[in-house]
């Protein structure tokens, strides 16, 4: 999939990214606005002027970015740069954090995510999430996958539910390993299998977007490779936003890469471009390992 | 010397031993070129000497305090003339008592048998000699120990290991106190129950349905044989516990869920301690609250509906007991619910579950083993609760499931059996021990089941 990128800045790009008084690295200044191609002509989700605060502390500064249909966008950056916070703002998981406040405009298919009309519960059914640490419920493998479909009434008969479970597990690449032990607890699986179970659980409710928050950081290299393959397959049907600490992973799985630095979105470009010819010095400094 | 004074002297002696051995080790170290040339730190040399000084003499003292009476009394009895030799244990005790009383002056010496007066005289003599002997033995033993501790100080002495071994022994004996106490209580209850079951067959006790423990002291009294069927008592206990759990489990659980999942930090900071204040109210206060406020209220309300309510109803006792147990359940359940990892909540919310769906389908099942364990512990508390039922439940042993009727419980009967003048060879009194044993067995089984349930679910959910 290739989303057409907006190359001329005709799409009006809100300014004000730079906070010149803020600290910077090696004397490199933040760009006036996010460099590269953060905005798309047609997008699945779009974020404009997003600020996120924890109490008095601002974690995200004026982020503007689009996510295209069936695109994998990777978010990279040093620890504490706000990429996870930003991800959790997209499906309003931050609502559960009392002190967290999100401003700006975030839309999914043109609908305002933070409008009072949007039900966060319905939103999260459309924007699924896979977490850093595999968190299967203390239930059987079957019940783990069937959890979402049961909640949302996606199956009226047992056979339908069975089918959803099988398809989801197959798509998550877990069916052959799990089909004989569907009634055993999901917590008894290995770490990598647990994470694939969580992915199966997320796709069982047919979300439109899947958010992944460092899904491989608790896994060994083989399990990681499997998840990465899975992401590539899933991108045919889903829009995926993945936060990762591993630049190699971002390079392997994503179409576009967004580089966050201390709460600012510095650069968004095609992944290949980011890792071969980054536009901004901060991105270059990070991917060449000068900090991070 | 009095025991208290002796203890103070021992303390001073061991402090002296500590300083002497410590400074000796420091002095030895100095000639070698520093403390690091010693095997142990000077503290341990000092402690070793102090232990040698205090421990053996303390043991001797304790042994004397434990065994002096039997030794002295056997001396006394054997010194009595043939005509006065006791024939039974009771007579033996009586004899010792009167000698004791003459010796202390409570019984006048003129009015007593001359042989007993002589015995009292020798009792006083024996006591003072014994005390003097022991004082001398204890003091010399502790001085010897002090000397031994001082002489043995040398850079190669493994003082630390020895001191640590002694301290480990002290820790072990502290742990044993609780275990041996339990064992002792259990054995005494078992023994007395055994005596009870010699008088009353166990089948009658376990399966009998009539409880009226009145025993005649003389054979011509009315109601000369009591009946000891414990079933009505257990029915009453279970009825009241059931009512208590019906109140406490839902209220406790729901307040725990509110506190853990919905309450704002401010609300939680206020509500949780307040709820726990309930647990601090003495049960006797709950008791008169039940007897004086709740029971009359239930009676009036019931009569308003045309129901026959006795003034001491199972309902009143059960309701108040339930209120008493609420904080117990809510605080346990709150802890368990809080222990469910946040990642499970996130996972469920991330799938588009509402908060209540998350609680019902993820958090509650994950917390269930802990909750079940807490509830079972609460049940065994309810069964063993005494003060509320003594004040608010009745004394009449009735087999009924009607909560408006008066019932009695095992604990109430134990109290009434043991209050007042007792003879400890009557089945009436011994029945209290049998009931206690039953109660102990029931709560033990409950606790055992609770632990098993918790373990089983834990295997399933971790």
Beta carbons of B350 and A121 less than 8 Å apart: no
Contacts of A137 in chain B (CB under 8 A): 344, 347-348, 362, 366
Joined together, the tokens standing for residue B346 give 């996130």
Domain B227-461 is classified in which CATH homologous superfamily?
MetI-like (1.10.3720.10)
Angle formed at CA B70 by CA B66 and CA B73, multiple of 5 degrees: 140
CB-CB contact of A146 with A201 (8 Å): no
B384-416, pLDDT tens digit by residue? 888 888 888 878 888 888 888 888 888 988 888
Half-sphere exposure at residue B227, Cβ-oriented, CA atoms within 13 angstroms? 12
Burial A3-21 (b: 16+ CB within 10 A, else e): bebbeeeeeeeeeebbeee
Joined together, the tokens standing for residue B278 give 């309930």
A181-200, pLDDT tens digit by residue? 999 988 889 888 999 999 99
Beta carbons of A98 and B341 less than 8 Å apart: no
Contacts of A139 in chain B (CB under 8 A): 365
CA closest to B344 among chain A residues: A135
Confirm whether A292 is domain-assigned. Answer: no
| Cα–Cα dist A91/A87, whole Å | 8
Q: What is the CA radius of gyration of chain A?
A: 19
Higher pLDDT among residues B423 and B22, named by residue: B22
The candidate with the shortest Cα–Cα distance to B349, out of A137, A254, A93, A19, is A93
Best interface-test mutation with A: which of B343, B352, B355 has the largest number of A CBs within 10 A? Answer: B352
Least confident of A167-171, A284-288, B71-75, B437-441: B71-75
Q: Nearest Cβ partner of A205 from B351, B357, B365?
A: B351
Residues 6+ away with beta carbon under 8 Å from B296: B311
Report the CATH number at residue A94: 3.40.50.300
Q: Nearest Cβ partner of B346 from A93, A187, A205?
A: A93
Best interface-test mutation with B: which of A55, A120, A137, A168 has the largest number of B CBs within 10 A? Answer: A137
Beta carbons of B351 and A148 less than 8 Å apart: yes
Q: Nearest Cβ partner of A135 from B265, B343, B461?
A: B343
B217 pLDDT above the threshold of 70:
no
User: Beta-carbon neighbour count of residue B297 at 10 Å?
Assistant: 12
Contacts of B345 in chain A (CB under 8 A): 96
> CA-CA distances (angstroms) from residue A15 to A107, B223, B312?
19, 101, 79
Confidence band, pLDDT 50/70/90 cuts, at residue A15: very low
Give me chain B's average pLDDT, please: 86
Beta carbons of A147 and B264 less than 8 Å apart: no
Beta carbons of A121 and B343 less than 8 Å apart: no
The candidate with the shortest Cα–Cα distance to A87, out of A134, A127, A116, is A127
Sequential DSSP letters for B269-323: HHHHHHHHHHHHS-HHHHHHHIIIIIHHHHHHHHHHTT----SS-HHHHHHHHHH
Domain of residue A115: give its range. Answer: 35-135+209-287
Residue B361 DSSP symbol: I
What are the residues of chain A with a beta carbon less than 8 Å away from any beta carbon of chain B? 91, 93, 96, 98, 121-126, 128-129, 131, 133, 135-139, 147-148, 151-152, 185, 187, 198, 201-202, 205
Contacts of B362 in chain A (CB under 8 A): 137
Sequential DSSP letters for chain A: --PPB--STTS--------TTS--STTPPPPSS-EE---BSS-SEEEEEEEEEETTEEEEEEEEEEE-TT-EEEEE-STTSSHHHHHHHHTTGGGGSTTEEEEEEEEETTEETTSTTS-HHHHHHHEEEE-SS----SSBHHHHHHHHHHHTT--SSHHHHHHHHHHHHHHTT-HHHHGGGTTSBGGGS-HHHHHHHHHHHHHTT--SEEEEESTTTTS-HHHHHHHHHHHHHHTTTSEEEEE-S-HHHHHHH-SEEEEEETTEEEEEEEHHHHHHS-SSHHHHHHHTTS--
Give me chain A's average pLDDT, please: 86
| Cα–Cα dist A61/A49, whole Å | 8
Confidence band, pLDDT 50/70/90 cuts, at residue A8: very low
The C-alpha of A201 sits at a distance from chain B's nearest C-alpha, in angstroms, of 8
- Report the pLDDT averaged over residues A261-279: 90
| Cα–Cα dist B20/B25, whole Å | 9
What was the ipTM of the complex prediction? Answer: 0.83
CB-CB contact of A165 with A217 (8 Å): no
The C-alpha of B354 sits at a distance from chain A's nearest C-alpha, in angstroms, of 6
Least confident of A82-91, B102-111, B167-176, B396-405: B102-111
The confidence score (pLDDT) of residue B1 equals 59
CB-CB contact of B134 with B66 (8 Å): no
The C-alpha of B358 sits at a distance from chain A's nearest C-alpha, in angstroms, of 10
Residue B395 DSSP symbol: S
User: Start-end ranges of CATH 1.10.3720.10 in chain B?
Assistant: 227-461
Beta carbons of A201 and B347 less than 8 Å apart: yes
Angle formed at CA B275 by CA B270 and CA B279, multiple of 5 degrees: 140
The confidence score (pLDDT) of residue A27 equals 66
| Cα–Cα dist B164/B170, whole Å | 10
Output the pTM of the full model: 0.74
Joined together, the tokens standing for residue A218 give 């608790």
Burial B56-94 (b: 16+ CB within 10 A, else e): bbbeebeebeeeeeeebbeebbeebeeeeeeeeeeeeee
CA closest to B365 among chain A residues: A138
Handedness of CA A90, A94, A96, A102 (dihedral sign): negative
Beta carbons of B352 and A123 less than 8 Å apart: yes
B352-364, pLDDT tens digit by residue? 899 999 999 999 8
CB-CB contact of A108 with A99 (8 Å): no
CA closest to A202 among chain B residues: B351
Confirm whether A45 is domain-assigned. Answer: yes
Beta carbons of B343 and A122 less than 8 Å apart: no
Confidence band, pLDDT 50/70/90 cuts, at residue B13: very high
What are the residues of chain B with a beta carbon less than 8 Å away from any beta carbon of chain A? 264-265, 341, 343-354, 357, 361-362, 365-366, 460-462
Confidence band, pLDDT 50/70/90 cuts, at residue B216: low
B439-459, pLDDT tens digit by residue? 999 888 988 888 887 777 665
Contacts of A123 in chain B (CB under 8 A): 352
Beta carbons of B350 and A128 less than 8 Å apart: yes
Domain total of chain A? 1
Contacts of A198 in chain B (CB under 8 A): 347
| Cα–Cα dist B7/B347, whole Å | 65
A85-126, pLDDT tens digit by residue? 999 999 898 888 888 899 999 999 989 999 888 888 889 999
B285 pLDDT above the threshold of 50:
yes
Residue B312, phi then psi, degrees to nearest 5 = -115, 90
Beta carbons of A137 and B353 less than 8 Å apart: no
Beta carbons of A135 and B366 less than 8 Å apart: no
| Cα–Cα dist B72/A209, whole Å | 92
Q: Nearest Cβ partner of A128 from B351, B365, B462?
A: B351
| Cα–Cα dist A4/A41, whole Å | 6
The confidence score (pLDDT) of residue A12 equals 45
């Amino acid at each position: 999939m290739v989303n057409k990128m907006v190359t001329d800045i005709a799409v009006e790009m809100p300014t004000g990214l730079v906070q010149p008084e803020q600290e910077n690295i090696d004397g490199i200044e933040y760009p006036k606005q996010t460099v590269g191609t953060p905005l798309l002509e047609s997008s699945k989700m779009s974020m404009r002027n997003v600020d996120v605060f924890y109490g008095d502390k601002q974690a995200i500064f004026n982020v503007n970015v689009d996510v295209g249909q069936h695109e994998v966008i990777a978010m990279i950056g040093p620890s504490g740069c706000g990429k996870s916070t930003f991800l959790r703002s997209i499906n309003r998981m931050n609502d559960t954090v009392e002190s967290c406040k999100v401003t700006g405009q975030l839309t999914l298919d043109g609908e305002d995510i933070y409008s009072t009309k949007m039900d966060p519960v319905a939103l999260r059914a459309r924007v699924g999430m896979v977490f850093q640490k595999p968190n299967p419920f203390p239930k059987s493998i079957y019940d783990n996958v069937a959890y979402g479909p049961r909640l949302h009434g996606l199956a009226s008969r047992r056979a339908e539910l069975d089918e959803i479970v099988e398809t989801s597990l197959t798509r998550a690449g877990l069916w052959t390993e799990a089909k004989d032990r569907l009634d055993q607890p999901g917590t008894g699986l290995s770490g990598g299998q647990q994470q694939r179970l969580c992915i199966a659980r997320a796709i069982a409710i047919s979300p439109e977007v899947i958010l992944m928050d460092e899904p491989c950081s608790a896994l060994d290299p083989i399990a990681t490779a499997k998840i990465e393959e899975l992401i590539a397959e899933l991108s045919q049907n889903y829009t995926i936003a993945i936060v990762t600490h591993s630049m190699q992973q971002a390079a392997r799985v994503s179409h576009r890469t967004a580089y966050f630095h201390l709460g600012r979105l510095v650069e968004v470009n095609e992944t290949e471009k980011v890792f071969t010819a980054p536009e901004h010095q901060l991105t270059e400094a990070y991917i060449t390992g000068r900090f991070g | 010397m009095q025991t208290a004074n002796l203890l103070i002297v021992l303390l001073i002696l061991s402090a002296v031993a500590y300083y002497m051995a410590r400074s000796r080790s420091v002095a030895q170290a100095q000639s070698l070129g520093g403390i690091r040339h010693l095997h142990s730190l000077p503290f341990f040399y000092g402690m070793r000497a102090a232990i040698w000084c205090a421990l053996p003499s303390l043991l001797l003292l304790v042994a004397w305090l434990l065994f002096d009476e039997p030794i002295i009394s056997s001396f006394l009895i054997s010194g009595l003339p043939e005509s006065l030799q006791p024939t039974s244990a009771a007579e033996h005790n009586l004899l010792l008592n009167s000698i004791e009383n003459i010796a202390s002056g409570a019984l006048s010496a003129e009015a007593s048998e001359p042989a007993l007066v002589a015995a009292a005289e020798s009792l006083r003599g024996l006591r003072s000699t014994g005390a003097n002997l022991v004082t001398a033995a204890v003091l010399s033993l502790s001085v010897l120990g002090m000397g031994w501790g001082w002489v043995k100080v040398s850079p190669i002495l493994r003082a630390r290991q020895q001191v640590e071994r002694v301290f480990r022994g002290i820790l072990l004996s502290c742990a044993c106190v609780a275990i041996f106490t339990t064992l002792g209580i259990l054995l005494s209850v078992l023994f007395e129950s055994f005596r009870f079951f010699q008088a009353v067959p166990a089948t009658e006790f376990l399966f009998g349905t009539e409880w009226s423990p009145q025993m005649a002291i003389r054979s011509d009294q009315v109601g000369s044989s009591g009946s000891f069927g414990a079933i009505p008592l257990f029915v009453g206990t279970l009825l009241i516990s059931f009512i208590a759990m019906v109140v406490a489990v839902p209220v406790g659980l729901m307040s725990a869920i509110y506190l853990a999942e919905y309450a704002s930090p401010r609300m939680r900071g206020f509500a949780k301690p307040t709820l726990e204040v309930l647990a601090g109210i003495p049960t006797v206060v709950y008791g008169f609250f039940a007897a004086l406020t709740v029971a009359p209220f239930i009676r009036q309300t019931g009569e308003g509906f045309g129901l026959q309510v006795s003034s001491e109803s199972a309902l009143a006792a059960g309701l108040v007991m339930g209120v008493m147990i609420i904080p117990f359940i809510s605080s346990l359940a709150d802890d368990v619910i809080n222990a469910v990892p946040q990642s499970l909540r996130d996972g469920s919310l991330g799938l588009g579950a509402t908060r209540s769906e998350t609680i019902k389908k993820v958090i509650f099942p994950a917390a269930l083993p802990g909750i079940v364990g807490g509830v079972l512990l609460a049940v065994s508390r309810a069964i063993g609760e005494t003060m509320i039922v003594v004040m608010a439940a009745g004394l009449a042993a009735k087999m009924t499931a009607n909560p408006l009727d008066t019932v009695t419980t095992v604990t109430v009967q134990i109290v009434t059996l043991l209050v007042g003048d007792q003879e400890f060879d009557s089945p009436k009194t011994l029945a209290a021990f049998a009931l206690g044993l039953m109660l102990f067995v029931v709560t033990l089984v409950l606790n055992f089941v609770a632990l098993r349930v918790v373990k089983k679910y834990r295997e399933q959910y971790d």
